[in-house]
Structure 1
């Protein structure tokens, strides 16, 4: 029998109190309760849930414990600990006003919190740490090391060995710069490399205004680790990435004099890195950040012939803040090249990651007119080749309409790269708009656009330097190889929809695909690191060969064997393309995925 709890109210002197009486267990109302009626119902311990009395008792116990906790904060551990995500930033604001020695005492070179911890939110304000506090990595890091893919899923990342410091040691920084800067143009680096290196190696604190901003430094260190092939460094790659992402998100809160340009560079580097390792959504996010920042800073209107009021990028005490004028022609060149680097990144990301019907031109949307003149190669600015009379007006629009540039602008390797990217993107955009059931007016409009862009591509092709007899190790060779591949891929994108029914379009596609996999006679294994978009370009060429092999097999004896255009010749070209993809996929998750898709398409025919 289950017993209930009976509470009978009885008088006692001049006070009232509860007297507990023994329950006889009779349901629904026990005997004592029938004798002394009350407002509350009887409560039994065998009910489906906790009784009201038990709930009240638990509540009282919890409140008493909380009261004790509040009254004795030093003797208890709080049951709920709140975290201020901006505490590090506010602390650094206060500490930046004090002497550097107050930030990191010499007797305690390491703080208890790793800078690579997700809770670290240090900004671009100076930390005050001298170089001798950054040496924790130097004793453990070598410039070389065993090779290994930085994107390998088997890699076990560990915590940062330079616990509590803002950046690795001086020797390690030199190593990371040596690993990254020779290949930096392939990954969207638009700052002057010599000036960047000199400023990075200054014996000043992390975040000092004379050094590059923490965001761009962290992004460069990340790339240096990624390209290092040093196992001790590669084990820290995830920590370096976390640090770079944190600074890219928070540096705009700081007061570094180059925070806009350097944050833009960091966003571009992170987007290429995330694309390379296969984190596509994050790559698109950082690309969008770069596009927004470039437009907000007015980098699309540099040296515009049109009247243009500088945009306000912020407010301080209700006073608009605008980007300061460039200090010299080198910094102006960095801004020009920075805008075009963002435009190329946007076009690459769009084509590589968006379906054909979704390929768009955000930077060329209605209302956005690009007036910035074509870029020079970054070294040319220090040689004084950006003449004072150079101006820009509807730069991209005029190129697509006229295709041939006048004057001295638009012929640098960097400008050719930008133009090839524009043509590739425009062809992909046009291909995505094609449908076989177009209305008559739409068909004529599409035909006119098709013929126009095809004419621009063929004219542009005649201006390109040949690939033959180039030094395979020279950085300019990689750039020209990319430019030729982009131009050929533009032809494929433009004609692929009609290659099944139109022999001329089919021949355009085959010729372009053959050009892409012969590499101008260069040994692709010796070229070195290449822009991550190369995998997408080679995939387009491989699909041309797969489609043609399938067509040849369906026609059986339509072509004689062992001649140009035979299945053997097409197979040889396809193997060349897949070999190039395989070489690039060793350290790129994106290309590895693309190679798998090509293999699946080939096995299906």
Structure 2
């Protein structure tokens, strides 16, 4: 048997190292060019090499009208060589495509959020009366925790936790480490708290001031402090405060604190008003919707209901239902009652201000949702142990004229709640008006119109005059809002008929002239919408005076001159201009009023 052939061993000393890829491609290209030059003779229609060795593909010539396939392959080889050179020598070449990080700003914000916290001096005498950093410890519905004297700054890399985390200070992510900037935050928060009720703040303020450091949900209060403080140093960091406030509002329910639902509702309401004021309407609607879902899902609309209502199950833990903790004091229960009505008022004004008339709906009065919670009181009354009696069908009874609760001069929260209902109801009713209604639809509309008009007039007669309150009284701002909502309800209700009905026109003019333009500090962002409605009434009347044949005359003969109307209009524009300096929404509304006036 013959022996199999064996490959002779390879001498390692003679082993050839593989050529680098770039060297190989360059070498191959040189051989290709040399072969083409030596053999290609350019004969047409078939070159010499192809005649000697026939092939199916037609010959390509460099002098043709288009780029030949050979030329295209050669250019591709050049591009690949250049790319290989970049990859093998990145430090010696400039990349052909420069990339950028689209999330660089977000990463920078995240980096700043892990910077050292603000240092706030313990003894800040000028801000002590209103400062939310007070070391005073009182019993409260807010979470208890470390005393101010034992509070120590957290490390820069401290990660966020839920409400129950040990690192619960709302300052742990603030991007400053300066006593000056800390004092600026104090000033901003102290500027916000006297006006907090105008932005949906429903908690007991003295208790809040004593415990503001202890709940992550209250980062939104620091956001408002920065926003209203108007410090140039802090305004640059307002987006960072906003991000932290939104993050903690979205995650604080993951904690275990017994008041996490209440505090999250407060944060959502404050954020909704912030977005509303700054012109970010989609976010405002989103926070409003989240607050509605949370309040209804937690059963706040059934607090102190006379109807049998099973307790709300918040979730399951090891197959055991989790329920909302029972309130321990009248203040605890009162804060929950006021929380629902704060969400309710927010929903009413946001819906009317941001939705087209035909889309104004009553989500909180939809079929199957019955509001039994009693009307709100001031938190000072709850702190004294006062609670409203159990109730049923609170809003439905009011709209049906069956509510017999008289307005108390001290019930500012109750006044603004009822005014928002009438404002929303007027917009909802007129949004469904159509001149092509059938007989049955028209009768239903007319009955609703008369009912709402009667409710508005009755409610207005019960309101205390604004002149009875001092300008320094914080309650005057809520009273101004209440009167303005009531007047705007009249304008909404009668505005669709003012062009053809003299009585409706007179109702609109009287209501527009009644809208207060008094400067009393920060007001609810809806005030710009209400002033704008009044201004449009005056603009329409000026237009009517310039075209007298097309508009109805006043039934009483009480006509305003064009100069008198222009005086009211100038006052309204001045109010819009004043409040538009730091309010994006009002600035936009001022522009729309000026455009409407220029168009007549």
The aligned counterpart of 2:284 is 283
Whether the 8 Å CA contact 2:373–2:391 is kept in 1: the answer is yes
Whether the 8 Å CA contact 1:559–1:566 is kept in 2: the answer is no
The aligned counterpart of 2:134 is none
1:186 paired with 2:198, answer yes
The aligned counterpart of 2:143 is none
CA offset digits 1:420-469 (Å, max 9, x no partner): 00000000011110111111111111111111111111111111111224
CA offset digits 1:4-23 (Å, max 9, x no partner): xxxxxxx99599x9999955
The aligned counterpart of 1:297 is 298
1:596 paired with 2:591, answer yes
1:524 paired with 2:511, answer no
The aligned counterpart of 1:198 is 210
Note the aligned Cα RMSD (angstroms).
4.3
Secondary structure, counterpart of 2:545 in structure 1: helix
Residue 126 of structure 1, CA deviation: 2.5
Whether the 8 Å CA contact 1:218–1:243 is kept in 2: the answer is yes
* Structural mapping, 1:249-328, within 5 Å: 249-328=250-329
CA offset digits 1:205-229 (Å, max 9, x no partner): xxxxxx2x312x2100011111213
Whether the 8 Å CA contact 1:44–1:51 is kept in 2: the answer is no
The aligned counterpart of 2:399 is 400
Residue 586 of structure 1, CA deviation: 1.6
User: Aligned pairs, how many?
Assistant: 506
Distance 1:109 1:505, change over 3 A: closer
Whether the 8 Å CA contact 1:121–1:246 is kept in 2: the answer is no
Residue 243 of structure 1, CA deviation: 1.3
Distance 1:465 1:558, change over 3 A: closer
* Structural mapping, 1:63-102, within 5 Å: none
**Residue of 210, 214, 219 corresponding to 2:216:** 214
Provide the rounded CA distance (Å) in 2 between the counterparts of 1:491 and 1:558. 18
Secondary structure, counterpart of 2:292 in structure 1: helix
Provide the rounded CA distance (Å) in 2 between the counterparts of 1:408 and 1:602. 39
Whether the 8 Å CA contact 2:168–2:216 is kept in 1: the answer is no
**Residue of 25, 36, 46 corresponding to 2:71:** 46
Larger Rg: 2
Secondary structure, counterpart of 1:435 in structure 2: coil
Secondary structure, counterpart of 2:505 in structure 1: helix
Residue 230 of structure 1, CA deviation: 2.5
The aligned counterpart of 2:240 is 239
Secondary structure, counterpart of 1:313 in structure 2: strand
Residue 231 of structure 1, CA deviation: 2.5
Secondary structure, counterpart of 1:140 in structure 2: helix
Provide the rounded CA distance (Å) in 2 between the counterparts of 1:383 and 1:236. 40
Residue 378 of structure 1, CA deviation: 1.6
Provide the rounded CA distance (Å) in 2 between the counterparts of 1:129 and 1:218. 9
The aligned counterpart of 2:229 is 228
Provide the rounded CA distance (Å) in 2 between the counterparts of 1:255 and 1:49. 69
Secondary structure, counterpart of 2:179 in structure 1: coil
Whether the 8 Å CA contact 2:186–2:225 is kept in 1: the answer is no
The aligned counterpart of 2:167 is 127
CA offset digits 1:281-328 (Å, max 9, x no partner): 111111111111111111111111111112222222233222111121
The aligned counterpart of 1:544 is 537
Distance 1:123 1:14, change over 3 A: farther
Whether the 8 Å CA contact 1:403–1:459 is kept in 2: the answer is no
Provide the rounded CA distance (Å) in 2 between the counterparts of 1:401 and 1:132. 51
1:580 paired with 2:579, answer no
Whether the 8 Å CA contact 1:177–1:197 is kept in 2: the answer is no
- Range with greater deviation from structure 2 (311-320 or 244-253): 311-320
The aligned counterpart of 1:421 is 420
The aligned counterpart of 1:555 is 548
Whether the 8 Å CA contact 1:492–1:540 is kept in 2: the answer is yes
Residue 135 of structure 1, CA deviation: 11
Provide the rounded CA distance (Å) in 2 between the counterparts of 1:256 and 1:543. 49
Residue 45 of structure 1, CA deviation: 6.1
* Structural mapping, 1:505-516, within 5 Å: 505-516=504-515
Secondary structure, counterpart of 2:315 in structure 1: strand
Residue 555 of structure 1, CA deviation: 1.5
Provide the rounded CA distance (Å) in 2 between the counterparts of 1:524 and 1:49. 80
The aligned counterpart of 1:365 is 366
Whether the 8 Å CA contact 1:225–1:237 is kept in 2: the answer is yes
The aligned counterpart of 1:533 is 526
Distance 1:250 1:29, change over 3 A: farther
CA offset digits 1:187-246 (Å, max 9, x no partner): 000011110111125xxxxxxxxx2x312x210001111121332222322221121111
Secondary structure, counterpart of 2:391 in structure 1: coil
* Structural mapping, 1:111-150, within 5 Å: 111=156, 122-124=161-163, 125-127=165-167, 136-141=176-181
Provide the rounded CA distance (Å) in 2 between the counterparts of 1:318 and 1:558. 70
Distance 1:309 1:55, change over 3 A: farther
Secondary structure, counterpart of 2:496 in structure 1: helix
Secondary structure, counterpart of 2:268 in structure 1: helix
Provide the rounded CA distance (Å) in 2 between the counterparts of 1:56 and 1:317. 63
Provide the rounded CA distance (Å) in 1 between the counterparts of 2:438 and 2:293. 36
Provide the rounded CA distance (Å) in 1 between the counterparts of 2:240 and 2:48. 68
Distance 1:444 1:174, change over 3 A: same
TM-score by length of 2: 0.74
Provide the rounded CA distance (Å) in 1 between the counterparts of 2:573 and 2:82. 72
TM-score by length of 1: 0.74
The aligned counterpart of 2:455 is 456
* Structural mapping, 1:343-354, within 5 Å: 343-354=344-355
1:445 paired with 2:438, answer no
Give 5+ residue unaligned stretches, structure 1.
1-10, 38-42, 66-78, 92-99, 101-105, 142-168, 202-210
- Range with greater deviation from structure 2 (44-53 or 490-499): 44-53
1:504 paired with 2:503, answer yes
CA offset digits 1:348-397 (Å, max 9, x no partner): 1111111111111111111111111100012110112215xx11211100
Secondary structure, counterpart of 2:595 in structure 1: helix
